[in-house]
A = this chain, B = another copy of it.
Amino acid sequence: MSSSYPGRGVHGRVVELLGERVASGMIREGDTLDLRSLSAELGVSMSVVRESVRVLAAKGLVDSRQKRGTFVRPRTEWNLLDADVVRWRARGGDTARLMADLAELRALIEPAAARFAAQRRTENQLADLDQALDCMDRTRGDPRAHALADLEFHRCLLAASGNELLSRMDLLVAPGLVERDILVHSADPKADPVPAHRAVVDAVRARNPDAAEQAMRALLAAADADLRRLAGTALDPPNRKDRP
């Protein structure tokens, strides 16, 4: 959905497939991909395989050197900030660490974005926030639509921060957000996240940076608490020592 590769086309499917295989560890670091075998296995021509490999190379997942072949690069060189890479990892299994890292980043990014938004928001951006809030209000009862509205709200807030780079972090906040929304909404349909969101908008409207930052922290803390209550301690920060 948020991919750069529309569903149509053979190339897109090959990229997705190879991306998942690499990100999931099914093809390990240093392993070489035999392009010819892949061409045969997937029933596509070399052109398609080559173009797909180029895309993976553009995201730092693989490298192609003459004579040595195409091999998986070490994890430390992957573009982990790429939306596709995040998605492939999420599908590939190691969601625990990924989600923990994403949550930490959100806790870092969003309060700051709220602060900036309170300082720099335009009238249009404020209107967008109001509209997203309305949409969240209206879609209560429809989990899927509500999750989309929630995401749109956070997107608008990041956009209002006036920092393009911060704004593009929406790709990183999205996965954690939708997971939370699905879980929480299915278990506790009466919960209403709108007031907490409205508090953020009110602070942004009043151009009060401290209040905006604080309201966003409260929102994230509440979301995190919901998650812990439902999923036990699954999202507790794991012991991170002794990582190579």
Contact = CB atoms under 8 A, between A and B. Distances in A.
Interface string A64-87: 000000000001101111111000
Please list the 4 inter-chain residue pairs (A to B) with the smallest Cβ-Cβ separation, ordered nearest first.
A162-B240, A55-B58, A81-B81, A58-B58
Given A47-B47, A122-B241, A243-B122, A165 B105 contact: yes
A59 B188 CA distance: 39
A50 interface: yes
Contacts of A63: 4
Interface string A154-197: 00000000111111110110000000000000000000000000
Interface residues of A, number: 49
A97 B166 CA distance: 13
A223 to B, nearest CB: 19
A108 B112 contact: yes
Contacts of A79: 82-83, 168
Interface of A: 4-5, 11, 47, 50-51, 54-55, 57-60, 63, 75-76, 78-84, 97, 101-102, 104-105, 108-109, 112, 116, 120, 122, 124, 162-169, 171-172, 240-244
Q: Per DSSP, are chain A's interface residues mostly helix, strand or loop, or mixed?
A: helix
B105 A166 contact: yes
Nearest to A166: B105
Nearest to A80: B168
B55 A166 contact: no
A50 B50 CA distance: 11
B166 A122 contact: no
Nearest to A159: B76
B51 A169 contact: no
A54 B51 contact: yes
Contacts of A108: 108-109, 112, 166
B4 A60 contact: yes
A162 to B, nearest CB: 4
